[in-house]
């Protein structure tokens, strides 16, 4: 360690890293799985999941940055001991989203019809993902602040969600035998059979920003243009035809 020189101020690090007292993430889950192997011309797989995960910040405070507001209790009521969800990144114009569902169900099956015809399908359903709800305050009168802007959560995290997601896909295929050379399958797929127009991604419920100035007459509220704006929905019904060879 460098010795201090009289009349000189030593460099002080702006960040201090330490363990969070009593901080933890908790998770529980329960899965019910049913499998019917192919017999009597049909098969099926089904599953149902119940799960939960939450944050217990103990003596501290949790936020996405896990550092900046550790000692700020403003949003503790909305996050502490409430649902935790990872903030999953998007691409190709898709926004980030808090991804976590407390329940989900899956069903897939196949039935063999006469004349070498097969019909199969899949069904998926889950609880919609979480949409955060908040507003910002920018206070230009704050004395010597580290940041003049503060985000205030307006609703308990996990209370506002996207609608329930569900999707049904079907396939019909005809097998043609080629003697000793193999088989040909001619099939047709229908994706999103119900043609459901379900929102998959949506911007946060951003209630805007309130600006505070030394002169109260200058105070103003600015709306957020992307507030709760839809970003992605489930693709419409789509039909695909194809041929598959096996040798």
CA distance 60 to 19: 10
Domain assignment present for 5: no
Quote the domain boundaries for residue 97: 24-246
Query: 28 φ, ψ to 5°?
Result: -140, 150
pLDDT tens track, the chain, 247 positions: 445 555 555 555 566 676 666 677 789 999 999 999 999 999 999 999 999 998 776 655 444 444 334 556 788 888 888 888 988 877 778 899 999 999 999 999 999 999 989 999 999 999 999 999 999 999 999 887 778 899 999 999 999 999 999 999 999 999 998 877 888 999 999 999 999 999 999 999 999 999 999 999 999 999 999 999 999 999 999 999 999 888 8
Domain assignment present for 120: yes
191-220: string of b/e by CB count within 10 Å (b at 16+)?
bbbeebebbbbbbbbbbebebeeeeeeeee
Domain assignment present for 138: yes
Domain assignment present for 2: no
CA distance 199 to 22: 38
How big is the CA angle at 219 (ends 218 and 223), to the nearest 5 degrees?
Answer: 125
Domain assignment present for 3: no
| CB 35 within 8 Å of CB 44 | yes
Split into its structural domains, the chain has a count of: 1
Burial of 131 (0-12, 13-18, 19+ CB in 10 A): buried
Read off the pLDDT of residues 147-180 as tens digits, 9 standing for 90 and up: 889 999 999 999 999 999 999 999 999 999 887 7
What does the DSSP assignment read for 166-205? EEEEEEEEEEEE-TTS-EEEEEEEEESTT----EEEE--E
Domain assignment present for 13: no
Domain assignment present for 242: yes
Q: Is the pTM of this model over 0.75?
A: yes
β-pair partners for 174: 117, 186
Domain assignment present for 127: yes
């Amino acid at each position: 360690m460098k010795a201090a020189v009289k009349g000189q101020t030593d460099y002080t690090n702006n960040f201090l890293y330490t363990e969070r007292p009593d901080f933890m993430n908790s998770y529980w889950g329960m899965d019910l799985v049913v499998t019917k192997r192919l017999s009597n011309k049909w098969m099926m797989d089904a599953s149902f999941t119940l799960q939960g995960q939450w944050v217990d910040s103990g003596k501290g405070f949790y936020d996405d940055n896990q550092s900046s507001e550790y000692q700020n209790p403003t949003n503790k009521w909305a996050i502490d001991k409430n649902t935790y969800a990872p903030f999953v990144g998007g691409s190709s114009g898709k926004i980030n989203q808090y991804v976590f569902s407390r329940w989900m169900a899956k069903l897939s099956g196949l039935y063999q019809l006469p004349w070498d015809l097969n019909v199969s399908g899949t069904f998926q359903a889950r609880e919609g993902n979480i949409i955060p709800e908040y507003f910002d305050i920018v206070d230009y009168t704050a004395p010597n602040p580290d940041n003049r802007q503060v985000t205030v959560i307006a609703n308990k995290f996990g209370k506002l969600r996207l609608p329930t997601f569900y999707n049904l896909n079907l396939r019909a295929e005809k097998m043609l035998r080629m003697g000793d050379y193999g088989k040909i399958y001619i099939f047709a797929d229908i994706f999103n059979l119900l043609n459901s127009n379900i929102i998959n991604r949506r911007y946060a419920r951003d209630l805007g920003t309130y600006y505070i100035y030394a002169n109260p007459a200058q105070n103003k509220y600015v709306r957020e243009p992307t507030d709760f704006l839809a970003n992605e929905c489930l693709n419409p019904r789509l039909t695909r035809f194809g041929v598959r060879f096996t040798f």
